[in-house]
Chain A
């Protein structure tokens, strides 16, 4: 019986017995074995060859892009970079489980989802080199991508702020009767922020069709999960807020894909949020500003990185006869070439003109901003060689 005033289940007991923290046992969904074959009792999600190969190619591309751009940062050609390595399966598999028109709010390590949507090599480069063609007008640090065309909200560095926003966006989709939902990515570290709790609770209370997708990769910079929270992962939080929840093996693309399809269906048909926790390992450094040697061992990195999601999935596709390894090796070489060529293209393009500094603060610059820009330009004319070119 539901007690509608307190919104709790009314089961009276006369013995004092607390619910202990081990009362819940949350399982982890895994479909693909590490050798690329399905577990005997696993049901393979319905997936066609085209989608399956697109997922593979997305992972392939992102691994190559990350590798190259990490090197570019080391050479001083860009100031900053963050790799997706170790989480490319979780991110790509979830993006593939959505509709192209579904909205994505991401944290920053989800470039694979953006590429899956169609963000091109050139678009990545333009942002990374903050040149004139960057959709974000060069205003944010590298990896802060976004695209209205691709329904991918521009990244904001302050953690977890996207979580309640995703709830609100999804509420708007339901109100307008859009046949679409929202997916929100975040790390297990960000899940400690107040915004996470606010966002989940509001989505549950207001029945927003949003999928919360936690990338639990073991670390928030140097902080391991055992210093981040006590209790059974982030999944247990969902249940506390009255949100149906699934935990998946984040190195298993098919499991993530199946979980996201399920979650999407749940969100759309029941107008309710859903939480997915993907278990992963952040194989690379937090960012190019970080060196994990200060807080974890090489042995640990090796141990968790052997369970490589990409090769697991590749083997699955080969067994299905959906890809040809020889062709893929050629493809890999071609992508590497394309990336090198595009680095050279993007770095030659000029940065945005300084007039753009005062745009988008408001819909139109205020008089005061125009005056400030004028003063700046006059100043630059005194020292033209020391600042950006004034057009």
Chain B
């Protein structure tokens, strides 16, 4: 199954489980969304539960906040993560603070916001951004990013049933290309728990979403060419993140590289590095290093040069080992 099918399947299962659950967003109705993730769901569950909204992201999230406050599970789709910003106020000031502000009288835990993010599709400035760090600065939100179809389905089902609002960012570059065996039946994967996808002894590399493939490729190169043994961690949840798994790994390997697509300055890698240096100071054999996007808007014609690809990661592995 590819990621589109896996997500569609997860939504279908959740919709059949919750009698009032709604899916709303731009073009998600009859058409099934510009990436066709909600394909056929309107036909199956009706126009009251799966519907196109007017073209207003602040409206979509505001409306979804209100709907979620009734307790009805809501999936709000934002067509591209680059277009979530009109809803920034609703997300940061409302979604994130609903429970806290009302002393627990009300909450919007029934809300899940889905949005395709990231580069690799020749999308230029406004169809490529990775905005997770903006939201990671906001207590009250959970942030989840899957790496493949199997993960996408299990994590999305957990996000929907989690009693907190979740931002679910989908690596759109992998929608069609990433394939895995996915069960047709309901299953869930835990939020807030990282996944060690390869064990190793020399160095730890952390990434999420589409970059997991990249670090896998780099690790393979480093093993084949330099016999370096690498532990690879897919963080999966950005907020809250699994400090234990990462620090346990770094205590073992003594080295850490973080890879993300977003610009390096104030990306989520900074947070990981700060925490790891505190927890693992005495185990570190090299400074914590980051392979990230440049501090520039995401460029169209220099996408390849901008991206923190496997070669940049491989070079950084050697640098860390040489240190």
Q: Which residues does A use to contact B, with CB under 8 Å?
A: 79-80, 130, 138-141, 144, 156-159, 189-190, 192-195, 220-223, 227-229, 289-290, 294-295, 351-352, 354, 357-358, 361, 366, 368-369, 372-373, 376, 379-380, 382-383, 386-388
Contacts of A354 in B (CB 8 A): 302, 305
A140-B55 CB under 8 A given contacts A221-B34, A357-B299: no
> Are A157 and B125 in contact (CB-based, < 8 A)?
yes
- With A141-B122, A194-B58, A223-B55 known as contacts, the answer to whether A372 contacts B127 (CB < 8 A) is no
The answer to whether A358 touches B294 (Cβ under 8 A) is: yes
For the complex formed, measure the closest distance between the CB of B50 and the CB atoms of chain A, giving whole angstroms: 12
Q: B126 to chain A: which residues have CB within 8 Å?
A: 141, 156-158
Partner of A379, one of B30, B82, B123, B315: B315
Number of A-B contacts (CB under 8 A): 129
Partner of B125, one of A140, A222, A358, A379: A140
B271 close to A (CB within 8 Å)? no
Taking the complex as formed, is B165 at the interface, i.e. its CB lies under 8 A from any CB of chain A?
Answer: no
For residue A222, give the distance in angstroms from its CB to the closest CB of chain B: 4
A372, B306: Cα distance in complex, Å: 10
A254 to chain B, nearest CB (A): 31
Is B234 an interface residue, CB under 8 A from the partner?
no
Residues of B within 8 A of A373 (CB): 294
6 more contacts with CB within 8 A, not counting A130-B301, A141-B127, A357-B305, are A193-B55, A193-B57, A195-B86, A352-B301, A354-B302, A361-B297
Report the bound CA distance from A294 to B34 in whole Å.
10
Partner of B299, one of A138, A156, A221: A138
Q: Mark B52-87, 1 if CB is under 8 A from A, else 0.
A: 101111110000000000000000000000110110
Complex: how many Å from CA A140 to CA B31? 27
With A189-B55, A192-B59, A388-B304 as known contacts, state yes or no: A139 contacts B31, CB within 8 Å. no
Please report B residues at the A interface, Cβ cutoff 8 Å.
26-27, 29-32, 34, 51-52, 54-59, 82-83, 85-86, 122-127, 264-265, 294-297, 299-302, 304-306, 311-312, 315
**Complex: chain A residue closest to B89, CB-CB:** A194
- Nearest CB to that of B264 among chain A residues? A372
Q: Which residues of B contact A138 (CB under 8 A)?
A: 299-302
Q: Which residue of B lies closest to A221 (CB)?
A: B27
Provide the residues of chain B in CB contact with A372, threshold 8 Å. 264, 294-295
Q: Distance (Å) between the CB of B73 and the closest chain A CB? A: 22
B301, A223: Cβ atoms closer than 8 Å: no
- Set of chain A residues within 8 Å of B54, measured between Cβ atoms: 189, 192, 223, 227-229
Residues of A within 8 A of B311 (CB): 379, 382-383, 386
Say yes or no: A139 contacts B125, CB within 8 Å. Answer: yes
User: Judging by beta carbons under 8 Å apart, are A139 and B56 in contact?
Assistant: no
CB closest residue in chain B, given A368: B295
> Given A194-B86, A295-B31, A388-B305, do A140 and B294 touch, yes or no (CB 8 Å)?
no
24 inter-chain pairs at a CB distance below 8 angstroms, sorted by A residue, are A138-B302, A139-B124, A139-B300, A141-B123, A141-B125, A157-B124, A158-B83, A158-B86, A159-B83, A193-B55, A195-B86, A221-B31, A222-B31, A227-B54, A351-B301, A352-B301, A354-B302, A357-B296, A358-B296, A369-B294, A369-B296, A379-B315, A382-B311, A388-B304
Q: Which of A139, A158, A376 contacts B294 (CB 8 A)?
A: A376
Distance to closest chain A CB from B237 (angstroms): 28
> Which one of B55, B57, B122, B302 has the greatest number of beta carbons of chain A within 10 Å?
B55
Whether A80 pairs with B296 at a CB distance below 8 angstroms is: no
Cross-chain contact B302 with A388 (CB below 8 angstroms): yes
CB nearest neighbor in B for A294:
B31
Q: A157-B82, A157-B126 are in contact. Are A192 and B305 (CB under 8 A)?
A: no
- A80 with B122: CB separation less than 8 A: yes
Q: How far is the CA of A388 from the CA of B307 in the complex (A)?
A: 13
CB-CB under 8 A from B125, the residues of chain A are: 139-141, 157
Residues of A within 8 A of B123 (CB): 141
